[in-house]
Amino acid sequence: MSVYTTVTPDELDAWLTRYALGAFVDITPIAAGIENTNYFVTTERGRFVLTLYERLPSDELPFYLNLMAHLARCGVEVPAPAPDRTGALFSVLNGRPAGLVARIEGVPITAPTDASCAAVGDALARMHVAAQRYRARLTNRRGPAWWRQAARAVRPFVTDAQNELLQGEVRFLTGFGKGTLPKGAIHGDLFCDNVLFANGRVAGIIDFGFAATDFYAYDLAIAVNDWCISDTATGELDPARTDAMVRAYDDVRPLTADERAQWPALLRAAALRFWVSRLYDLYLPRPGELTHAHDPTPFERILRARAAAPARPLEL
């Protein structure tokens, strides 16, 4: 995990007076996450997750937190933000914007199955349907402009072959973000560790720190590239799991003909985004107490596999 901002029990106890949640009981660092500082917090009236937003500017936080509140009201399995006594969903704690969300009881799946992939596809589609009624907009800060900047920044640290792949994919995806596919608020990071399961069902979609306005099908491609890998050594997709996730999604929000036609490019864009992010975090990390950077190698393999695959429209 990464603890960028330490919070002591006394500091938290004082901050919690903003809320009508009863007295402070316990605080425990969460052993996951790269972007923000997270703690489990227990008060007399409930169990919550405290997030201190390390990179997100305060003027962007309403997009994320109001999105989560909107989705929760629509019945999507997301943790609802807890308002303070004034109705605000965040305030400053130890110099960082911070907020509380309800803690969801559940655990991530480490070995996805056809059934779990279908459940995630269904939940993601319902999230996107609900997001169609969310009016706020926010440019994706990890979109194509950032890919280009990050690819240049990591160039001194990678091999010639890796540079060739990076630059080739950046060129291939020129104009990607200017397309006309259906878009709205997306999660942007729906990996296995960001979905909690309980009793075989999706209990919660968590960690909206990369939410933005972008293509819905791109969000699905991000999930497929993590949940549906059959062989980490090659980055190839498992056909059955991929079919289960995409069919379950399509049953709720039918994919358009354009989305199906652009599916190979969407998978490549999703792979490039996370490969270059992991390269950047590995070679150009921020200081943190327990900083952990994900290994970029799996996403290099995924990107090479997607780039080598035939550019065929999605068929269900």
Asked if 23 and 44 count as a contact pair (C-beta separation under 8 A), the reply is yes
Q: Say yes or no to pLDDT of 17 above 60.
A: yes
User: Residue 175, SS3?
Assistant: coil
> Average model confidence (pLDDT) for the chain?
93
At residue 1 the predicted structure's pLDDT band, cuts being 50, 70 and 90, is very low
Residues of the chain with CATH 3.90.1200.10: 114-308
**What percent of the chain stands above pLDDT 90?**
84
Residue that has been written with the tokens 């130890």 in this structure: 94
Rounded to an integer, what distance in angstroms lies between the CA atom of residue 287 and that of residue 224? 31
Q: What is the pLDDT of residue 35?
A: 76
pLDDT recorded at residue 288: 53
Delimit the CATH 3.30.200.20 region(s) of the chain: 9-102
CA dist 304 → 61, 178, 233, 238, 267 (Å): 35, 24, 11, 16, 11
Mean of pLDDT values over 53-66: 89
pLDDT > 70? residue 3: no
pTM of the full structure:
0.93
User: Could you read off the pLDDT of 130-175 as tens digits, one per residue?
Assistant: 999 999 999 999 999 999 999 999 999 999 999 999 999 999 999 8
Q: How would residue 205 be classed by pLDDT, with cut points 50, 70 and 90?
A: very high
The alpha carbon torsion through 17, 20, 26, 27 (nearest 10 deg) reads: -70
For residue 183, the cross-strand partners are 215
Specify the long-range contacts of residues 195-200, CB closer than 8 Å, at least 24 apart.
Answer: 195/108, 195/109, 195/120, 195/123, 196/104, 196/105, 196/106, 196/107, 196/108, 197/106, 197/107, 197/108, 197/109, 197/116, 197/119, 198/105, 198/106, 198/107, 200/115, 200/119
Contact 32, 107 (CB under 8 A): no
For 41-72, b where at least 16 C-beta lie within 10 A, e where not — what string?
Answer: bbbeeeebbbbbbbebeeebbebbbbbbbbbb
Residue 235 — left, alpha, or beta (φ > 0 → left; ψ -120 to 50 → alpha)?
A: left
Residue type at 162 in one-letter notation: Q
Percent of the chain with pLDDT over 70: 96
Average pLDDT of 42-71? Answer: 93
**pLDDT score of 304 more than 90:** yes
Distance CA 185, CA 274 (A): 19
* 72-124 pLDDT, tens digit each: 999 999 999 999 999 999 999 999 999 999 999 999 999 999 999 999 999 99
| pLDDT tier for residue 128 given thresholds of 50, 70 and 90 | very high
Cα separation, 105 vs 103, in Å, equals 6
**For residues 252 and 278, what is the distance between their CA atoms, to the nearest angstrom?**
32
- Please give the pLDDT value at position 232: 87
The one-letter amino acid at 98: A
Q: Which pLDDT value is given to residue 289?
A: 44
Q: Which of 72-81, 240-249, 305-314 shows the lowest mean pLDDT across its residues?
A: 305-314
Fold of 114-308: Aminoglycoside 3'-phosphotransferase; Chain: A, domain 2 (3.90.1200)
pLDDT for residue 290 is more than 70: no
CB contact set of 153 (below 8 Å; sequence gap of 6+): 280, 284
Top-level class of domain 9-102: alpha beta
pLDDT at 294: 86
Q: Is the pLDDT reported for residue 58 higher than 90? A: no
Those residues with Cβ within 8 angstroms of residue 276's Cβ, 6 or more apart along the chain or in another chain: 147, 150, 151, 154, 166
Residue with tokens 């919550």: 48
Average pLDDT score over residue span 36-62: 91
pLDDT computed for residue 165 by the predictor: 97
Bridge-based pairing state of the strands 201-205 and 236-237? unpaired
Q: What is the pLDDT of residues 61-78, one digit of tens each?
A: 999 999 999 999 999 999
